[in-house]
Chains A and B, each alone.
Chain A
């Protein structure tokens, strides 16, 4: 039965956000079921919905898919956002693994003890501007094309845009030394499916606030393991 994909997660970004971005970029409508409490998660575990007891989980094409990367790989392949051959795929994989590393740092930042937060933020900004962004700036400079890989829109472009916007939330002028990334950001944001996702009322989730963080901690039992 080919209904819309259905996403199971808590009502926040976390590990599901990249999946929301990719579905949106591919123009795929999706439904969402939110875990608001630990009991909601336990219930999903009890009925055997979660292969490794964890979310994200996406019901798609008759499968209950778990594991963020497995889900992203499937969606990207299915919607032709994964390059035209093995070598393009390898380049895309390198690029997206790095954006996911940076996303992970940003995602974990709110969980740092308050005394470590300032140093942690500085470290994130340093990594973004010295280890990650220069690579994408150079890639765009070297080939002079609109998209990161193969002169064609791919998941690498989607994931880089997502990461840029999250990094800008940490430091608004973080792209100041990266003119090509600034142009890239404007260009990709204007792609109709992405433009739509960036508008208010879309399924894009806001940055974590104190209330959502507390709820997330309780759903995922963070700090108790």
Chain B
């Protein structure tokens, strides 16, 4: 037993990636177990490791945590990335839920049959509903970080979302100068810089192989 948190998920981004980002940003090393077969998944269920039969699973501090937001909330609070009081936490929660919605669209996109995919809608939402909010926030307070003059979960997740959308549309930040500066600034934070380097636990964009593995393991029709 190493004492490091242990992540159980597919060998890809999905719902676990935001958790990897947050741990990495906090400078926390972790182990990973990758789900490759249905038999492996069924064994986890049989052994009672998955409270609601679902992954992500993070084993940390003697708990088997499931449910992405439960895990993220715990990590953010434990590693002091959740603001200094209730109101800052409320602000962080609003921002994080926004980026979660945006990234959720991209996660779903890769599992949507090609004919039904709508990348234009994702880019439209990014550039008219989400990014303007964060650009405006940075403009209004003129500070380095989104909330409370302090690095928080909101900053980590916004960077993750920006990079995810840029992968699909490289010019997406063209009308958002403050977000461009934000992206550069956050990427230079040592723990994040390390995570962005090759060989880190950061996962690549989903490919057909990844999608097929997930569908097979979860037997989704």
- A: residues with CB less than 8 A from B are 51-53, 61, 63, 65-70, 73-74, 77-78, 86-87, 89-90, 93-94, 97-98, 101, 131-132, 135, 225
CB proximity of A208 to chain B, nearest CB, Å: 23
- List residues of chain A with CB within 8 A of the CB of B161: none
Scoring B77, B87, B90 by chain A CB atoms within 10 A of each residue's CB, the highest score goes to: B90
Is A51 within 8 A of B94, CB to CB? yes
B residues 112-155 touching A (CB-CB < 8 Å): 121, 129-130, 133
- How many residues on B have C-beta within 8 angstroms of the other chain's C-beta atoms? 29
> Which residue of A has the minimal Cβ distance to B101?
A52
B42 at the binding interface (Cβ < 8 Å): no
B53 at the binding interface (Cβ < 8 Å): yes
The contact of A131 among B52, B74, B90, by CB within 8 Å, is B52
Is B86 within 8 A of A74, CB to CB? yes
B residues 29-85 touching A (CB-CB < 8 Å): 51-53, 61, 63, 65-70, 73-74, 77-78
CA distance A52 to B114 in the complex (A): 28
Is A135 within 8 A of B52, CB to CB? yes
Is B93 within 8 A of A74, CB to CB? yes
Q: Which 4 A-B residue pairs are closest in the complex by CB-CB distance?
A: A93-B70, A70-B93, A67-B97, A97-B67
CA distance A41 to B55 in the complex (A): 36
Is B133 within 8 A of A52, CB to CB? yes
A132 in contact with B52 given A74-B93, A98-B67 (CB within 8 Å): yes
Is B66 within 8 A of A94, CB to CB? yes
A69 in contact with B74 given A74-B86, A97-B67, A131-B52 (CB within 8 Å): no
CB proximity of B42 to chain A, nearest CB, Å: 14
- List residues of chain A with CB within 8 A of the CB of B63: 87, 90
- List residues of chain A with CB within 8 A of the CB of B61: 87
Is B98 within 8 A of A93, CB to CB? no
B20 at the binding interface (Cβ < 8 Å): no
Instruction: Give me 20 A-to-B residue pairs in the complex whose CB atoms sit less than 8 angstroms apart, sorted by A's number.
Output: A51-B133, A52-B98, A52-B133, A63-B87, A65-B94, A69-B69, A69-B93, A70-B90, A70-B96, A74-B86, A74-B89, A77-B89, A89-B73, A90-B73, A94-B52, A94-B66, A97-B68, A98-B51, A132-B52, A225-B121
Is A52 within 8 A of B93, CB to CB? no
Is A89 within 8 A of B90, CB to CB? no
CB proximity of A108 to chain B, nearest CB, Å: 14
CA distance A131 to B67 in the complex (A): 14
- List residues of chain B with CB within 8 A of the CB of A101: 52
Is A90 within 8 A of B70, CB to CB? yes
| Extra 16 A-B pairs, beta carbons < 8 Å, given A73-B73, A77-B89 | A52-B98, A61-B87, A68-B97, A69-B69, A70-B93, A74-B86, A86-B77, A89-B74, A90-B63, A90-B65, A90-B70, A94-B66, A97-B68, A98-B52, A101-B52, A135-B52
Is B74 within 8 A of A93, CB to CB? yes
A73 in contact with B93 given A86-B74, A90-B65, A93-B67 (CB within 8 Å): yes
Is B98 within 8 A of A77, CB to CB? no
- List residues of chain B with CB within 8 A of the CB of A61: 87
- List residues of chain A with CB within 8 A of the CB of B52: 94, 98, 101, 131-132, 135
CA distance A65 to B69 in the complex (A): 18
CB proximity of B89 to chain A, nearest CB, Å: 7
CA distance A97 to B74 in the complex (A): 13
CA distance A86 to B68 in the complex (A): 16
CA distance A78 to B87 in the complex (A): 10
CB proximity of B23 to chain A, nearest CB, Å: 15
> Which residue of B has the minimal Cβ distance to A53?
B129
The contact of A51 among B77, B98, B121, by CB within 8 Å, is B98
The contact of A66 among B78, B89, B94, by CB within 8 Å, is B94
CA distance A96 to B86 in the complex (A): 19
Scoring A53, A87, A90, A93 by chain B CB atoms within 10 A of each residue's CB, the highest score goes to: A90
Is A63 within 8 A of B90, CB to CB? yes
Is B97 within 8 A of A89, CB to CB? no
